Amino acid sequence: GAGDPTLDGRTFSLVAIDEATQATEPAALIPLLRAATAALLVGDPRQLPPTVVSPGGVAAGLGVSLFERLEAAGLEPLTLDTQYRMHPGISEFPADRFYGGRLRDGIPASARPRPPGLAWPSRVPVAFVQCDGPEVGGGGGSGDSTTATTTTYANPAEAAAVAAIVTALLRAGASQDAVGVVTPYAGQARALRRALDAAPASADVEVRTVDGFQGREKEVIVMSTVRSNGRGGVGFLADARRLNVALTRARAGLVVVGDARTLLNSPVWGAWLGWCGEKGAV
pLDDT digits (tens, 9 = 90+) for 60-77: 999 999 999 999 999 999
**Average pLDDT value for residue range 238-262:** 96
Tens-digit pLDDT profile for residues 102-147: 999 999 999 999 999 999 999 999 999 999 989 998 753 333 333 3
* Size (the chain), residues: 282
Distance (Å, whole) CA 145 – CA 154 = 16
**Average pLDDT value for residue range 11-34:** 93
> What average pLDDT does the structure give for the chain?
92
Confidence of residue 203 (pLDDT cuts 50, 70, 90): confident
CA-nearest of 126, 121, 187 to 158 is 187
Is the preceding peptide bond at 49 cis, omega within 30 degrees of 0?
no
b (16+ CB within 10 A) / e for 223-235 = bbbbbbbeeebbb
Residue 258 scores a pLDDT above 80: yes
| 3-class secondary-structure state, position 82 | strand
The alpha-carbon radius of gyration of the chain (Å, integer) is 20
DSSP-assigned letters across all residues of 133-198: ---EE-TTS-S--TT-SS--EE-HHHHHHHHHHHHHHHHTT--GGGEEEEES-HHHHHHHHHHHHT
List all residues 6 or more positions away from 100 whose beta carbon is below 8 Å from its beta carbon.
none
Q: Measuring CA to CA, how many Å separate 32 from each of 1, 16, 38, 55, 62? A: 12, 9, 9, 26, 17
pTM of the predicted protein model: 0.88
| 3-class secondary-structure state, position 75 | coil
Percent of the chain with pLDDT over 90: 86
pLDDT score of 141: 35
Confidence of residue 22 (pLDDT cuts 50, 70, 90): very high
How many CB atoms are located within 10 Å of the residue 220 CB?
25
